Amino acid sequence: MKKLLLLSSSRYRDNAYLAQPLAMVRDFLPSGIRKAVFIPYAGVTISHSVYHRMVAEALQPLNLDITNITDMQDPIKAVQAAELILVGGGNTFQLLASLYDQKLIDAIQNKVDAGTPYIGWSAGSNMAGPTICTTNDMPIVCPPSFNALNLVPYQINPHFTDATLPGHNGESRSQRLAEYLTVAQDQRVIALPEGCCIKVEGEQHTYHGDTDGKVLRYQVDAVTLKDGDDVLNA
């Protein structure tokens, strides 16, 4: 049974790093899990070792043994041996390019399909969809493909907001996602505001958060997602 926890962000409002979702992560994890592998490839302006230390310190209350995949001689074997996969945020293009470079796409897909829990935030959540085409990030590198892990059958837009700046004439987030849906009319996008997440347990995909999310489709009115709603059937 697939188990995924897809967090919009690592921070929420003024909370410390990964503090807001900590209780949900604890409830999400099956008992007995200890060995986790952390994938820090999305980190660009932070070293992978510092990033790993940040995550390990934030999740210390969970008593996990978190290995930095970049410290391992064989990343594929590191994924295959993991009891939990953690994928951090940062730049989605850098993350995807690195997963292709290390030949980890199939390895992660196979592990998650076999029931290994996957927790991602920001870019790590975007990576769980069919493609990264609904990321908010700049394409600072060019991955071989935009095709991502395809662990869930919908696109994700983390950090979603409808806020606009007075006097700013660039496209809103909703307008940019409408552009995507215009050229990918059979797709749908889960707009995931900060502090919210999607929990996947087998065929049950549940929205969680105090802020309403959205399901966006081509030329169809947006469907509002509230805490506890079924994402697949919304």
Helix (H, G, I), strand (E, B) or coil at 50: helix
Q: How many CB atoms lie within 10 A of CB 144?
A: 10
Q: Which of 46, 40, 5 is nearest to 22 (CA)?
A: 5
Q: What is the set of active-site residues? A: 122, 137, 159
Give residue 222's identity as a one-letter amino acid code.
Answer: A
Query: Which residues have a Cβ under 8 Å from the Cβ of 193 and sit 6 or more positions away?
Result: 8, 159, 160, 161, 209, 211, 212, 213
Asked whether 131 and 148 are in contact (CB, 8 A), the reply is yes
Spatial distance between the Cα atoms of 198 and 192, rounded to a whole number of angstroms: 8
